Amino acid sequence: MKTILLAAAALAAFSMGAARADTRPADSHPMCLESYLVDHTKVVNPSTILFYMRDGKVWRNDLPAPCPGLNFHGFVLTGQQGEVCAPDSISVLSTREVCMLGRFAPDNARSHAAR
């Protein structure tokens, strides 16, 4: 009887833990890109940057706020240590304006397309 009760209690605890894991916010672990796999980037507009990967995939980053000057001056990643993640920051060349990256999403329309 004790064995059945212990098994039932363990199963209930496991079920509650699994339910909690499922209710986590989807962005609690941001998606990151390995910086050495980034082939090149393209600034679409002050709020969107495309990251072209060596394997042909393209990731879109929608900045949380427009970054003026991004279209004209380009950018460098700041504080980069092997990965590019949200909310890493970028610095606009020549103006030194600092802007935050947003979430990465696959840009399937451009993947494997001509660069």
Q: Where are the domains of the chain?
A: 32-106
pLDDT over threshold 60, residue 1:
no
- pLDDT tens digits, 21-57: 333 345 456 689 999 999 999 999 999 999 999 999 9
* Residue-level pLDDT at 2: 39
C-beta separation of 89 from 99 below 8 A: yes
- Long-range contact set of residues 65-70: C-beta below 8 Å, sequence gap at least 24: 65/99, 65/100, 67/92, 67/97, 67/99, 68/97, 69/94, 69/95, 69/97, 70/43, 70/46, 70/99
* Residue-level pLDDT at 77: 83
- pLDDT tens digits, 64-115: 999 988 988 889 887 667 899 988 999 999 899 999 999 999 998 776 554 4
pLDDT over threshold 50, residue 15:
no
